[in-house]
Amino acid sequence: MDKIKIRGGNQLNGKIHISGAKNAALPLIAASLLTSEPVTLSNMPILSDITSLNNLLLELGTKIEQKEEQKKGHTSETYTYQTRNFTSLVAPYDFVRKMRASYYVLGPVLARTGHVELSLPGGCAIGARPMDIHLNSLEQMGAQIEIKNGYVVADAKKGLKGAHIIFPKASVGATCNILMAATLAKGATIIENAAQEPEIGDLIDLLVKMGAKIEGKNTSVLKIEGVSKLNGAEHTILPDRIEAGSYAIAAAITKGKIELEGAIADHLKAPLNILRAMDIKITEKENSIIVDARNADLQGQDIMTDYYPGFPTDLQAQFMALMTVAGGASMVTENIWENRFMHVPELMRMGANINVHGHASAIVRGVKKLSAAPVMATDLRASFALVLAGLIADGETIVNRVYHLDRGYEKLEEKLKAVGADIERIKEPD
Ligand code: EPZ
């Protein structure tokens, strides 16, 4: 298994190009299953989670074409998906266990064919991750659902029908799944308490290009008028706000200055406000964000994760890494996932002073320095938090289990090296 070696202490300065958003790309790929015509997605990030979902689509009968494009000095991938006919309606355990967002095939395949079997993904390191909202909503749309041998078996022989659905929680995954299913249902579907993350707006944009009738983008009430058929479309995936936020923190923690090329400041309001409150200069440009922490006197801030537009849970671990070296105390409260503090013991092994209270809050008291250590994390964002700590720690930090990072950070070492980090990947056989 590969490792990442970081020698801490370098101030990071320069430009980082922000890739296409993983959490937008995944539902957009699944949306291609709603039509027999080609769907072309550009600005696709090269990540193992994308490969995993592509492999599942190949299993279902999708033809995938890939093209590399050179744009403004960086390469970008364009994928065309076409599912004329399904060769299988089963998403097997082996695919779903590798990547839980495989559950995005549920809504589209059921809506188009009237049948789907999806292995239940089970819990993961950050929480139990139930699918009850997805399944209850599909039942309200007339689907018959059974759990058999670890699989969700869903039938809607006469097609799905529109329904008025009120989500108990603003789930991102359920919003995407039900939105996709509703595009081909008979009649109108209303989703109340829908999630409003920018990735959902991106999915709505693609679905509308495919001929779907959707109202309420960027609001918590979505109205979808079902159509009998969708067509192919072309779409550019939006930039990854979590990747941008992660590199903003890399600038902050190393007291450097980084321009995040392509990042959209509007999608990062809550985290950028915290950085500003920490004495960091943020300049919002039309097509980039400049984070300048060269003269910052970093002072701790409280953060509380919430549904968008609240503070994103996917940046909680990275902010906690920053708080470990900020003056005073910071309170970090995790409201979305019940087990998302696994980075804490590893940060403490590097000298951080953190007290976890229950499973939802932690007090971080700033220390003067962190020191390098071999560390490992159990999820993607926690792994990036350890990279951040390694960037400022005295000595050489080894981050193990790099496969977590490969799921969500495209060309991580390349991007950090280009702004001055002393970082390298150590290739090791699995
Ligand atoms: C998405 O997960 C993201 N993943 C996660 O990012 C992110 O942390 C999360 O949204 C919250 O922003 C993808 O987009 C692929 P949810 P998702 O359904 O859709 C509860 C990363 O690091 N819930 O919005 O699975 C659930 O337990 C990943 O990139 C139910 O109770 O999250 C949680 O407490 C990690 N029943 C809350 O809702 C359900 O049926 C929000 O979950 C579904 C969810």
pTM of the predicted model, to two decimals? 0.98
- Residue 423 tokens read as 């970082």
Which three-class secondary structure state does DSSP give residue 402? coil
Q: Is 314 in the pocket of ligand 1 (CB under 6 A)?
A: yes
Residue 74, pLDDT above cutoff 90: no
pLDDT-derived band at 348 (thresholds 50, 70, 90) equals very high
Contact 61, 33 (CB under 8 A): no
Q: Is 130 in the pocket of ligand 1 (CB under 6 A)?
A: yes
Percent above pLDDT 90 for the chain:
92
| Res 127: pLDDT | 82
Q: Is 131 in the pocket of ligand 1 (CB under 6 A)?
A: yes
Residue 71, pLDDT above cutoff 80: no
Residue 155, pLDDT above cutoff 80: yes
Of 46, 58, 124, 190, catalytic = 124
CA distance 410 to 413: 9
CA of 336 from ligand 1 middle (Å) equals: 8
| Res 219: pLDDT | 98
| Res 416: pLDDT | 98
Summary mean pLDDT of the chain: 96
Q: Is 176 a catalytic residue?
A: no
Q: Is 211 in the pocket of ligand 1 (CB under 6 A)?
A: no
The DSSP secondary structure of 80-141, one letter per residue, reads: EEE-SS-S--EE-HHHHHH-GGGGGGHHHHHHHHSEEEEE----BTTB----HHHHHHHHHT
Rounded mean pLDDT, 161-190: 98
Q: How many Å separate Cα 106 from the centre of its chain?
A: 19
Q: Which residues contact 266 (CB under 8 A, 6 or more apart)?
A: none
Taking the CA of residue 129 as reference, the ligand 1 atom at the shortest distance is: 27
- DSSP assignment, residue 236? E
Which three-class secondary structure state does DSSP give residue 300? coil
Residue 429, pLDDT above cutoff 90: no
| Res 165: pLDDT | 98
Residue 75, pLDDT above cutoff 90: no
| Res 147: pLDDT | 96
| Res 271: pLDDT | 98
pLDDT-derived band at 430 (thresholds 50, 70, 90) equals confident
Residue 123, pLDDT above cutoff 90: no
| Res 407: pLDDT | 94
Residue 51, pLDDT above cutoff 90: yes
pLDDT digits (tens, 9 = 90+) for 349-383: 999 999 999 889 999 999 999 999 999 988 999 99
| Res 83: pLDDT | 98
| Res 420: pLDDT | 98
pLDDT digits (tens, 9 = 90+) for 266-301: 999 999 999 999 999 999 999 999 999 999 999 999
Residue 73, pLDDT above cutoff 80: no
Residue whose CA lies nearest to ligand 1 atom number 18: 171
Report the residue among 102, 152, 172, 307 best suited for mutation to probe ligand 1: largest number of ligand atoms under 8 A from its CB. 172
Residue 189, pLDDT above cutoff 90: yes
pLDDT digits (tens, 9 = 90+) for 208-232: 999 999 999 999 999 999 999 999 9
Q: What fold does the segment set 22-236 form as a domain?
A: UDP-n-acetylglucosamine1-carboxyvinyl-transferase; Chain (3.65.10)
> What does the domain layout of the chain look like in residue ranges?
3-18+239-426, 22-236
| Res 390: pLDDT | 98
| Res 70: pLDDT | 82
Two domains, one topology: 3-18+239-426 and 22-236: yes
The class (CATH top level) of 3-18+239-426 is alpha beta
Q: Is 245 in the pocket of ligand 1 (CB under 6 A)?
A: no
